[in-house]
Chain A
Amino acid sequence: MLGIGILKGMAITAKNFFGSFVNKRLLPTLQYPEAGNSVTLFSRNIPFLVYDNDEDPLGTMRCVACKICEKECPPQCIYIVMEKDANGKPAKRPKVFDIDISVCMGCQICVEVCPFESIKMDSTFELSTPDRFEGLLLKREHLLKSNTYFHKIHPDEAQEVDDRLAAKQKKPAPTPSTPAA
């Protein structure tokens, strides 16, 4: 009969209306500041840099300033300057590592391309700042976070990464992408 579709539609909306009072699934809203947040194990937004030893962040960071991520980042929001030692020899760690998070689109490509498991996705989200230029340009010091933290936010992925690194250490085969200096 003509008009049955309309009645069916009305029934569905009515079901949603009344259901939202009794069924949690039909009212998924979280009242954010009061009722916590919806960060899950699968949340990913901006990248951070991993270091291994909690006592010595700058000494044990994994990044070697190879600039692969800088080149691959689609919106070009990473800026890296490699550190040089006194003789002008590259020190294989970044002096400057900036990510403009107002430009970063959270695509995770930097994570995919990094050969050293050094850059990973974070799930922090309370990033608002009154300063929209400097405040949104995250420096090396802001980006460095420990492996412990990585284990906390994404345990499965962190464990996988650790296993991979351990396997690599056992048989230090000459990988073409990391020529011995």
Chain B
Amino acid sequence: MTPINPDQLIVQLTQWALSFLDSYPLVAVLVAILLSTVPLVAVFPICFAITTWLERKGLARIQNRIGPNRTGFLGMLQPIADGIKMLLKEDIVPKTSDRLAHFLAPVVLMVPAFTILSVLPFNRNMIPAAVDTGVILFFALGSVSTLAVFMAGWSSRNKYSLLGGMRAIAQMVSYELPLVLSGVTVIMMTGSLDTTKIVAQQQLSEWIQSSNAGLQCLGQIIGWNVFTPWGFAGFLIFFVASLAEINRCPFDLPEADSEIVAGHLTEYSGFKYALFFMSEYVSAFAINGLSTTLFLGGWSGPNIRPPWSDDPNALLIPGFVWFFAKMFALMLVMIWIRGTLPRLRVDHLMGFAWKFLLPLAIMNIFVGGFYYYAPRWHGIPVVGWPIGFLVMYLSYECIGRLNRGPKTAQRVYHYAS
């Protein structure tokens, strides 16, 4: 029996449980699959509930309101009340809709939302599906949601739904490019599509394995990709593009409620609507999980080796704590953005993706390449860092200036002054 290691406790427990089934390989496989999928399906809906509560409370405070406060302490049971309300509502299907597609759309949206979670490393050795090409799988499955949204828009036989679906396709396809390209930089630097390797590359293993607690802590942080010029730019591009990818404010054009009722959700009610809602949040979690993995060091965070352990890789705080902390932090930023920015216009949305984010992401790839080959001094990128930063900053300014529209004359008000 290996010594107790808080970091790996869950993994060790699983292995211990599975060791009883050694003589029944088939059952062992089934149980292993269940043990890695059931937590996903159990944990993320809970996260979803917590996030809806956080969002309601946070937005309320931003707008100088109190928010839900009648259901339980601080309105914490609000998600349950919402869920009951959703379940009890009548499921209305338009008479002339394409019934099969209308029924399938929420399901088709939910399956990839949960599936892509399985390539995220929540902790060391804690990845539901250790795929060598995890990042590719994530993007490939993630883009299935576009199909589901369009299915919903098309099958409802409602002009608003269709408009929403068309907007969704245009938006998701456009933003897929900067999203993937900013991820490409990380893949290039790591030389691997494997999410576990990408996380491992962001940890300084010599520091972590040293005996100094401060170094152990720092070694878990200093290597994050976000602290490099290409990583920082890539993280911002990725974050903005992911906002658009999951239809969140300020890119929520597919369901713009003040323009096209609720877009592709117009004809949905009851539980199907709830499914849409949940898949949206779960994919938000998934994409935040991926940006955590790619840029924010995945499950690594300020952490030390437990004093009683002599395993050089053992850690005191389980990695998934940091992973979820970062994921929720990104979620909070999304809520904050939702409380701040108004919705974009459709042409601005397209222009922003194709004329601003895409060139910037391509520039970022070059900067990443330069950073990789630039001479280092004792392993410190003394040349790559400042020059890379400067180049990224200048291209940001230049592309921004090039995108400036023609100056319109100042509007003159004759009667209101």
Contact = CB atoms under 8 A, between A and B. Distances in A.
Contact of B341 (A6, A27, A29, A31): A6
A2 interface: yes
Interface string A10-35: 10111011001100001111010000
Given A1-B397, A2-B396, A2-B400, A20 B64 contact: yes
B336 A13 contact: yes
Is chain A's interface secondary structure helix, strand, loop, or mixed overall? helix
Interface string B325-342: 000000000001101110
Contact of B64 (A1, A10, A16, A31): A16
Give the interface size bracket for B toward A: 10 to 19
A9 B342 CA distance: 11
B64 A28 contact: yes
B64 A26 contact: yes
A20 B58 CA distance: 11
Contacts of B400: 2-3
Contacts, number: 41
Nearest to A7: B340
Contacts of A3: 400
Is chain B's interface secondary structure helix, strand, loop, or mixed overall? helix
A27 B337 contact: no
Given A2-B396, A2-B397, A14-B336, A9 B65 contact: no
A16 B61 contact: yes
A9 to B, nearest CB: 5
Give the interface size bracket for A toward B: 10 to 19
A27 B61 CA distance: 8
Interface string A73-110: 00000000000000000000000000000000000000
A17 B65 contact: no
Interface in B188-225: none
Nearest to B403: A2
- Most chain A CB within a 10 A radius of its CB, from B63, B66, B340, B396: B340
B62 A16 contact: yes
B347 to A, nearest CB: 18
Contacts of A21: 61
Nearest to B58: A17
A17 B339 CA distance: 10
B243 to A, nearest CB: 12
B356 to A, nearest CB: 9
B194 to A, nearest CB: 34
Contact of B61 (A2, A9, A10, A20): A20
A27 B69 CA distance: 14
13 contacts: A6-B340, A6-B341, A10-B337, A13-B62, A16-B61, A16-B62, A16-B64, A17-B62, A20-B61, A27-B61, A29-B64, A29-B65, A29-B66
